[in-house]
Structure 1
Amino acid sequence: MKNQINKMLLMTIAGTALFCGCRKSETFPVDKVTSYFVFNPLDSAGAAAHGYLYQIYAIVKNGHNRVGGDYLDAASDDAVSSKSGTVQVKQIATNAVNSFNFPSGENFWEEQNATGIPSNSGTPSSYWAGIRAANTFITNIGVVPVKGQSPSGVPMRYVWQSEARFLRAYFYFELVKRYGGVPLLGDKVFSLNDNVAIPRSSFGDCIKYIVSECDAIKDSLLTYPLQLPDADNYRPTKGAAMALKARALLYAASPLFNGGNIDASNPLSGYTDFQADRWTAAANAAQDVMNLNTYKLDNNYRDIFLSQNNSELIWIRPGSITTSVEAANGPVGFPVGGTGNTSPTQELVDSYPMINGLPISDPASGYNTNDPYATFTTPKRDPRLTANIFYNGSMWLNSIVQTFEGGQSKPNSNIQQTVTGYYMHKFMGLSESGTSLVQHPTDWVAFRYADILLSFAEARNEVESSPQADVYKQLYDIRARAGIEPGAGNNYGLKPNMTKDEMRAVIQNEWRIEFAFEEHRFFDIRRWKIAEAVMNQPRTGISIVKTSSTLTFNPITVLSTAFVKKQYLYPIPYNEVAKNPNMKQNPGW
């Protein structure tokens, strides 16, 4: 495997060097580079233009601890931040934000200081900056006589152009799922003299645009498996465009936007009607990815995030090969311990079933309240619990994690430590044995095959009068890979002949436990329109008291979260509304 040490950073620096090389007496930040320097009709290699494209890639966020040092899931019901003081995810989770002060780490509309562009401090890194840069590339790359073509025979400059269109569609989707309808700019690159008082397009038009772009570019992108996987694994493929389309349609079909609009007559905040066909479209889009027959579930759940070229990955944002995730989130108390930024909640821990697939609330599951993590007894818990969360008794660095009061990893001293009795384990290297941390890729997985399977199952369940075999199969496959036992009926703990409502609850929980900390739960509880129910309950953890060899588990409240209806969408930043009379604010803000 080729060493991918901070590929995006290296690409960005290389790209900047190319721009500066055009005229050594002049340097330009990425947002001010002109076509004169980049899109050169005499540059047959297209080196400067390709460098510019790399810088657009660098605007894609890497989700590891990106929101003020925390995972976005710490603003949901799955985790809380262990940090004290002003904490961005805590502001979001407690409804302490407004259109003036929305946390910068999650303000995709007007964020500054792009990660990965250190030479241009202050460079806009918002997704609007990404859209503008993509438009610049799309409208100018045609003059560059780039040599070569893709393995499928598409001229390389059209491949690059399609990659820029993919990035633009991705940026739009990330904005739309946060803000609802946004201005659609087409291919236009606005200048200072242009009228930029553009109104927001409807939510429906935005989804239609994203879907149409994915359809238009999919056949001119590279295809999986890649001929040069080590060099090109960051590039979007046909499968990535189809996966983006599937996700956009899944969100569009979901209750928040499809019949549950928070302002029923407002086309900016969602559709103003309900159409069951939107679920059908989402199911069909997921099915199209499945029909490619090129992706499959990785046999090892942890390997998904540690191997850059496994068969489950559809599109990634590459990161460095480091132990940075461990440093920020690992349990305290070890010679090479972390700072434990992320404290998973008891609610998340309790959502993992037993290894027989039965929820711990089922009397037949075998759950033991005196050994809740099944450390000493059987049946065991879902192996994904161990893969995603450190609990008292977990193995780490050839030792046992102690999160009981006064234990090694919960010393109750003045150092930062877990506030819930748990630490995040997901994304970390295989460092259970040995005394040093194992370095590994810190890529951010934007799309993987498991979310295609769950998207299909969710959409098909909403289409069918009751869940059929095609829905059950996706859950069987995901649970089998996780290590859930098939059981006597090969049902992996799932009840046969479930109703639509029962299956919906199962699917929603499977999203939660399979994709913990991957920035799904935060948006899932919004698109399902259940955030008002789950976020107006306190976040809890566990206080474990050890007396001799006996452990007593005491539930504790760690944070009182709050959610009101307006929070289903983000506020349009105040500055945007103030300077643009056509920019309508979202309901309630």
Structure 2
Amino acid sequence: MKKYFTVGLFACFLTIIWGCKKLSEDSPLEVTGLEYVFDSKDSLGVNAERFLNNIYSGLPNGYNRINNNILDAGTDDAIPNAVGDIVQYYSNNGISPTNIPDNVWAKNYENIRKVNIFLANIDVVPLNLPGYKNRWKAEARCLRAMAYFELIKRWGGVPVIGDKIYNAGEVVDIPRSTYQQCSDYIIAELDAAMPFLLTANNSVNGTFASNFYGRFGRGAAMALKSRLLLYLASPLNNPTNDVSKWANAAAAAKAVMDSVSATKFTYTLQNAATTAHYTNTQLTPLVPTAALSSYTVNVNKFLSIFSTASNNEIILPYMATNNSTVESANDPVGYTRATATSGKTNPTQELVDEYEMTNGKQITESGSGYDHTMPYYNRDPRLPGTVMFDGLYWLNRNVQTYDGGLDRPFGYGRVTKGETRTGYYLRKFMTSNSSATSYSNYPHVFPIFRYAEILLNYAEAQNEAAGPDNTVYSAVNAIRNRVGMPGLPAGLTQAQMRDKIRHERRVEFAFEEHRFWDIRRWKIAGNVLNGTLHGIQATLNNGVKTYKVVDATTIMFDVNKMYLFPIPLNEVISNKSMAQNPNW
């Protein structure tokens, strides 16, 4: 665990003070840097705030962060277009203590150390901005809580070091705390921080302040608490199904919802098509004429969540400068601007089949109206808002993923990289108002927490604690109604509602790093990640397309060990009290 002690901290200091003052060459950089970062004469706390902002850069950013792949390409929702990409290690039993694609152990302990340094030194700064110092301390504690959560959802219980700051090279000998102990610590930190945080992330006294958007406000702290308690109540961490844990999780989500009702928070579901991703003409092939206008609005509403720099659905974003990273990594390969490394994320047939018909029925249900010759017709508006399929409009033409088409030139089964392996590409997060020949930079704000999650967190926890009461229906239906999908049928049992909520999380949050953790906390990864994942093969003959479901890849998940990541080998070696996770 000791390698996090100095890595990144030096870079942080250099960023803050480079060009400001000459560093002394007579003392270590870490010691010298503290004098300039936490300056006893800096009444505005300029360098201290820069230090805090640097800690924010350690928040999770879900866009193509696993070797240019989205994490969910290691689930049953997608695969990468290259057979050898490491994200597949999570779905082909390829990880080990020395080979962890999503190894953020050092990164998060590095952030914890930065927070501890900040809290230990911020009182030196004579800040003359009323309330700011307490708020900065509270934000730092939330960032530390977030770092611990990122650790325990991967590894289970981890060492909790409190406020201690280890010296460089100091031997670490700390045993792991339990998952419950870690959770208790995180909750205590969040509860202590909340009174000092802004009521909403982006406002002060009700006035919008863009410089506070993306920082931990009280709502973000409550959202983290909601997710933590939901995970704590789930089967992976609650094997005896202690119902009181579900009740606690429901109460945490309900507290956010009640604060919205009381107008303390401005969070809401994005219910306006603020960006016109599609016109009626472009979506004509997908729905009957009578439903076309409303369908187009609903697709645009959903996509607008992810294409604006800020909106009231996103509770905590990962802030980044405008960029074209998502497009350059995921463009269908037949577009002029695409490169040999485009088209990375290939959704599976399993995910596509999960999207209901617009009448609310699954495609396999009697009376659904599903037609296998037109597999994308009359489907949940979130499908074209999430997945690029054959015939969907993109930039200046319709996507061609039939064998020999522009976006699948070699065809099914003939390549191991360079084009889609499933017949599908990623649509979600992609901005459609760029040129078809070159990339432009646009906002790509990753939603760490958004209000739709709070509603579904509540629905899941309340259903487990008390059954499918009216409040559960209301929470789920609000999300469905936002995109024009009908409400759930009345009279569902608790088990039936559980399935509906899990379905809703899958289609609403696809590629937002929920499915990866949901299938683990529900302990269903052994069911959905063993066997075969599928794609679609489309063929064009004499102007007629036919579609056939085909095998895409085989997958494996060892239930005896893979529900938790292995502790990185170097951490086990450097900390003699570190116990490895079972069977690793």
Q: State the TM-score, normalized to the length of structure 2.
A: 0.87
Q: Give the C-alpha shift of residue 141 in structure 1.
A: 0.6
1:255 matches 2:254: no
1:475-528 per-position Cα deviation (integer Å, ceiling 9, x unaligned): 1110011221x3xxxxx2x22111111111111111000000000000100000
Change (3 A) 1:438 1:388: farther
Deviation for aligned residue 1:21: 4.6
1-structure distance, mates of 2:32, 2:144: 18
1:84 is displaced (CA, Å) by: 3.9
Establish whether residue 205 from structure 1 lines up as the match of residue 205 from structure 2. Answer: no
Structure 1 letter corresponding to 2:382: R
Residues of 2 paired with 1:496 and 1:296: CA distance? Answer: 25
Determine if the alignment matches structure 1 residue 279 to structure 2 residue 277: no
Matches within 5 A, 1:144-293: 144-149=125-130, 155-192=131-168, 194-224=170-200, 225-226=202-203, 227-259=207-239, 273-293=240-260
Alignment of 1:454-533 (within 5 A): 454-464=456-466, 466-484=467-485, 486=486, 492=487, 494-533=488-527
Corresponding residue pairs, total? 529
Change in Cα spacing, 1:297 to 1:530, as seen in structure 2 (3 Å) is same
Q: Which residue identity is paired with 2:516?
A: F
- CA–CA separation in structure 1 for the residues paired with 2:244 and 2:407: 51
Percent identity, please. 42
Matched, 1:296 2:295: no
* Cα 1:355–1:431 shift into 2, 3 Å: farther
Deviation at 1:588, TM superposition (A): 1.1
Task: Quote the residue 2:280 is aligned against.
Answer: none
Structure 1 residues 22 and 196, CA, compared in 2 at 3 Å: closer, same or farther?
Answer: farther
Instruction: Give the CA deviation at 1:292.
Output: 1.2
Does 2:377 align with 1:397?
no
**Partners of 1:429 and 1:439 within 8 A in 2:** no
Q: Give yes or no for contact 1:389–1:424 (8 Å, CA) kept in 2.
A: yes
Q: Provide the secondary structure at the position in 1 that maps to 2:190.
A: helix
1:348 and 2:347 aligned: no
1:585 to 560, 580, 583: 580
Instruction: State the SS of the aligned residue for 2:352.
Output: helix
**Cα deviation, residue 223, structure 1:** 2.2
Aligned partners of 1:313 and 1:449 also within 8 Å: yes
Verify: 1:43 aligned to 2:58, yes or no.
no
Kindly state the Cα deviation for residue 348 of structure 1 after the two structures are TM-superposed: 0.3
Question: Is the aligned partner of 1:141 residue 2:131?
Answer: no
Change (3 A) 1:537 1:363: same
Matched residue of 1:24: which SS?
Answer: coil
Distance 2:31 2:493 in 1: 57
* Corresponding residue SS for 1:343: strand
Residues 22 and 37, structure 1, Cα contact 8 Å, conserved in 2:
no
2:567 matches 1:572 = yes
Q: Shift of the alpha carbon at 1:442?
A: 1.3
Distance across 2 between alignment mates of 1:242 and 1:32: 35
Separation of aligned partners in 2, 1:344 and 1:41: 54
CA contact (8 A) 2:400 2:406 kept: yes
Indicate the residue corresponding to 1:416 in structure 2: 418
User: Which residues in structure 2 correspond to 1:294-333 (within 5 Å)?
Assistant: 294=265, 295-299=267-271, 300-333=301-334
| Structure 2 counterpart SS, 1:386 | coil
Q: 2: CA distance between counterparts of 1:39 and 1:193?
A: 23
- Alignment check: 8 A CA contact 2:307 2:431 kept: yes
Report the Cα offset of residue 31 of structure 1: 7.0
CA 25–520 in structure 1, closer or farther in 2 if over 3 Å, else same: same
Q: Is 2:13–2:37's contact at 8 Å kept on the other side of the alignment? A: no
* 1:63 Cα deviation from its structure 2 partner: 1.3
The equivalent residue for 2:281 is none
Aligned-partner Cα distance in 2 for 1:350–1:229: 42
Aligned to 1:362: 365
Q: Cα deviations across residues 86-143 of structure 1 (Å, max 9, x unaligned)?
A: x11112211111112222xx10113xxxxxxxxxxxxxxx111011111110111111
Q: How far apart are the structure 1 equivalents of 2:309 and 2:468?
A: 35
CA contact (8 A) 1:397 1:435 kept: no
Task: State the secondary structure of the residue aligned to 2:547.
Answer: strand
Deviation at 1:15, TM superposition (A): 6.8
Q: Tell me how far apart the structure 2 counterparts of residues 204 and 481 of structure 1 sit (CA, whole Å).
A: 36
CA offsets 1:63-92 (integer angstroms, 9 cap, x no match): 11101110000000000000243x111122
SS of the residue 1:321 aligns to: coil
> How far 1:398 sits from its partner (Å)?
2.2
Q: Distance in 2 between matches of 1:437 and 1:395?
A: 18
* Alignment CA distance shift 1:36-1:439 (3 Å): closer
Q: Does 1:56 align with 2:55?
A: yes
Q: Write the deviation string for residues 560-587 of structure 1: whole angstroms up to 9, x where unpaired.
A: 1100121000011111112222111111
Tell me, in whole angstroms, the C-alpha distance in 2 between the residues paired with 1:326 and 1:275.
44
**Runs (5+) with no aligned partner, structure 1:** 1-11, 111-125, 150-154, 260-272, 375-379, 487-491
Going from structure 1 to structure 2, the CA distance change for 1:544 and 1:254 (only over 3 Å counts) comes to: same
C-alpha distance 133-13 of structure 1, shift in aligned 2 (>3 A): closer
Shift of 1:29: 11
Give 1:337 deviation, angstroms. 3.2
Alpha-carbon deviation of 1:220? 0.7
Q: Give, as a single letter, the amino acid of the residue that structure 1 aligns with 2:43.
A: S
- TM-score, structure 1 normalization: 0.86
Match of 2:275 in 1: none
Quote the Cα distance in structure 1 between the aligned partners of 2:210 and 2:463: 38
Match of 1:109 in 2: 105
Q: Within 5 A, what are the aligned runs for 1:425-440?
A: 425-431=427-433, 439-440=441-442
Q: Which whole-Å CA distance do the structure 2 matches of 1:320 and 1:336 have between them? A: 21
Q: Which runs of 5+ in 2 are unaligned?
A: 1-9, 272-300
Give the letter aligned to residue 388 of structure 2.
F
RMSD of equivalent CA atoms: 2.1
Distance 1:109 1:14 in 2: 18
1: CA distance, partners of 2:397 / 2:65: 29
Q: 1:496 to 1:204 in 2, by over 3 A?
A: same
Deviation at 1:178, TM superposition (A): 0.5
